[in-house]
Amino acid sequence: MSSSTNSTTHHTSTIGAIGAPSRRNTELALLVFAVLIPVFAYANVGLAINDEVPAGLLSYGLGLGLLAGVGHIVVRKFAPYSDPLLLPLATLLNGLGLVAIWRLDQSELLQSIKQAGTAAPRQLMYTAMGIALFVAVMIFLKDHRVLQRYTYISMVTALFLLLLPLVPGLGKNIYGAKIWIQVGSFSIQPGEFAKIVLAIFFAGYLMVKRDALALASRRFMGLYLPRGRDLGPILVVWIVSILILVFETDLGTSLLF
C-alpha cells in the first residue's frame, strides 16, 4: 500500500513538473502558411488580370509577414500558453481581405476616376495600427479578468458607439449604409469597435451570472431557459443593437449579431 502511494505521488509530481506545452512553435508554423496563402492569392490575382506577377508582391508579403511576426513575438513573450490558432486565423483572414481589396482597386471604375491602388495600401496601414493596439493590450493588460469590472460600462459604451453614425452632421451615408462617422477628411466605422466592447460585456456578464444562468426556470419550445431577470440584460442589449444596425441599414452586421 505504501509502495503504491509513493509511486502515485512520484508520478503525479513528475507530471506537474513537466508543465503544459506552450504551442508557440505550432503557432509559428501556422503563421507561415497564413502569410504564404494570401501571397499566393495576390500573385494569382495579378496573373489573372495582367498575365504578370504584381510589382508589389514582395513588399506585400514582407509587410504582412513582418506584422504577423511582431504579433507572434509579443504573444510568445506575454501569453506563452494562449491558443495557437487565433493569431494565424486573424492573419489569414486579414491577408485575404487585403487581396480582395487590391483586386477591387484594379477595377475599371476606379481606374477611370484615377483612384486605383489607394484602398489596399491604406488597409495595410490599418492592419499595422491594429497590430500596434494588439501589442499595447498584450503588454499593459496583464490579466484580462480585470475587464470584468467594466461589464456594464462596456454595455453603455457599445450602444453609444453604435448610435454615433445617427448623430446629425457626424454620420455619413455610404452606399446606402449609415455606419460611418466623418470628422474632416477622417472617417471610421465605430461599429467595428462596438463589436469588441460588446464581446467584453457579454463575456463579463456571462461570467458573473454563470451559476444563475445554469438554473433553468421554464421550458419554451423544447428549450429550458434561465430566469428572465438573469437572461433579460443579454436579450435587451442584443435586440437594441440589432434595431440600431437595421435602422442604419447595416444588415450584414445585424445578421452577425
Q: Give the domain ranges of the chain.
A: 21-141, 143-257
The reply to whether the predicted model has a pTM over 0.75 is no
Output the pLDDT for position 13: 41
pLDDT tens digit sequence for 186-205: 778 888 888 889 889 889 98
Residue 126, Cβ neighbours under 10 Å: how many?
Answer: 13
pLDDT tens digit sequence for 83-130: 999 999 999 999 999 999 888 877 655 555 555 556 677 788 889 999
Q: Which portions of the chain are predicted below pLDDT 50?
A: 1-2, 5, 7-17
| Runs of H (alpha helix) within 19-165 | 24-50, 57-78, 86-105, 108-112, 119-140, 151-163
CA distance 205 to 54: 48
Output the pLDDT for position 163: 85
Output the pLDDT for position 234: 81
Output the pLDDT for position 213: 76
Output the pLDDT for position 9: 47
Residue type, 247: F
CA distance 111 to 104: 10
Q: Produce one character per residue of 181-204: b if its CB has 16 or more CB atoms within 10 Å, e if not.
A: beeeeeeebbbeebbebbebbbbb
Output the pLDDT for position 25: 93
Output the pLDDT for position 12: 44
